[in-house]
Amino acid sequence: MIVEQIWTANSYRNFNYLIACPETGDALAIDPLDHQKCLSVAKDKGWNITQVVNTHEHGDHTGGNKQVIAATGAKLLAHANAKGTIPGIDRSLGAGDIIKVGKTVELESLDTPGHTMSHVCLLSHSDTPALFCGDTLFNAGAGNCHGGGHPAELYQTFTGQLAVLPDETLVYPGHEYIANNLEFTLDREPGNAAAKTLLADVANQNPDNPLVSTLAIEKEVNTFFRLHNPSVMARLRESFPDLPVELDAKTVFVKLRELRNDW
């Protein structure tokens, strides 16, 4: 499996992806908003884009579908419940569906509600697993829920589906927000040495050649995976003095998401 992470350099800071089979040159495009860049990378590599996957229905993820499909004849795949919001879906995706690319690549669709209620992540069945997580999980952060999502569902997705993946899983998010997210982590957990070191490393990173994190790294630096951390819980009580004495992980997650909205 070959992964090409494409930096769009737009104001939303989107990443697009091409995933190719090295044997056949077939490729799948994830959220190819910057259709010109995606098409030109595929051309340079000699790949044929045969499928487009939208992780979810927001315009900064679907906005390049038309042009990529017109140029390549690719099929469009998206969450089954996105039928009403994404035009032209050829294949509906649900939990556990397998998407094949060429002869060698297999991607599993995960049904990951929270950012929106019709969001899929793709998990590669490769020696080192890779997770293409759209706007669900970001480097050191989590997607917001203003555009049709729910924090409680996002919590379920994080703890029930993402946190249980192997530590070495590579994380490929839909946007580049890492420095800002690490600053939020440090605001919640000022003593987090791993987050401090990583922030120094990535503060001036070139998004054309970004850090690719792993779930192990995320568990160290992403507040939304650190729901039992004493500092995270203590700092939360400063913002929300009425929290119950016994704090459950779901409340911590939902309150962190609320704080992040205005941060």
Binding site for Zn ion (CB under 5 A): 58, 60, 135
Q: How far is the CB of 53 from Zn ion (least distance, A)?
A: 14
CB-nearer residue toward Zn ion: 58 or 260: 58
Closest distance to Zn ion from the beta carbon of 119 (Å): 8
Which neighbouring-strand residues pair with 238? none
Q: For residue 154, give the nearest of 253, 54, 247 by alpha carbon.
A: 253
Q: Which residues pair with 121 in a beta bridge?
A: 110
Based on C-alpha coordinates, what's the Rg of the chain?
Answer: 18
Residue 89 CA to residue 87 CA, distance in Å, equals 6
Which is nearer to Zn ion, 30 or 182 (by Cβ)?
Answer: 30
53 vs 247 by CB, closer to Zn ion: 53
Alpha-carbon distances, residue 55 vs 30, 36, 85, 91, 220 (angstroms): 7, 19, 12, 13, 25
Q: How far is the CB of 69 from Zn ion (least distance, A)?
A: 20
Q: Minimum distance from CB of 76 to Zn ion (Å)?
A: 17
* Between 56 and 226, CB nearer to Zn ion: 56
Most distant CA atoms of the chain, gap in Å? 59
